[in-house]
Amino acid sequence: MSEVVDTLSDGAKVKKRNLRMRACDEKDEKGKLCAGHLKRWYFFGEEVKRKFGSHAEIYRCDRCKTLYLPNPDEPPRSGTLSY
C-alpha cells in the first residue's frame, strides 16, 4: 500500500508510488482494489503546480483520479527514449 503524502482541496489523494508500480492500489469504501492504470499527467492545475512544481513528474489513476508522485529510488521517466 502506498503512503498518502497529501490531500488536495478537491479531495484527491496524493500518494508516493512503490517501485515499478503501474496500477493504482487505492481501495474504495467496500475494500475493493481500484487497479486503474497510472498514466503520466501533464496538464495539472494550479494547486498541484504550487505544491510540487510546474515541471513535476505526476501520474494519475485513470479510474479514481488519485495522483502519484514518483518513487525516489527509481530513475526519472521524464527523459526521452534513446535507442
What number of other Cβ atoms are within 10 A of residue 61's Cβ? Answer: 23
Structure confidence by residue, pLDDT tens digits, 2-31: 889 999 999 999 999 999 899 999 998 899
- Is 11 among the domain residues? yes
- Is 77 among the domain residues? no
- Is 56 among the domain residues? yes
Q: What percent of the chain has pLDDT over 70?
A: 92
- Is 75 among the domain residues? no
- Is 36 among the domain residues? yes
Q: Which domain holds residue 45?
A: 4-69
Pairing of strands 4-7, 38-41: unpaired
Handedness of CA 38, 40, 43, 47 (dihedral sign): positive
Residue 64 DSSP symbol: T
Residue 75 has pLDDT above 90, yes or no: no
Residue type, 66: T
Specify the number of domains making up the chain: 1
- Is 80 among the domain residues? no
Please tell me the pTM assigned to this model: 0.86
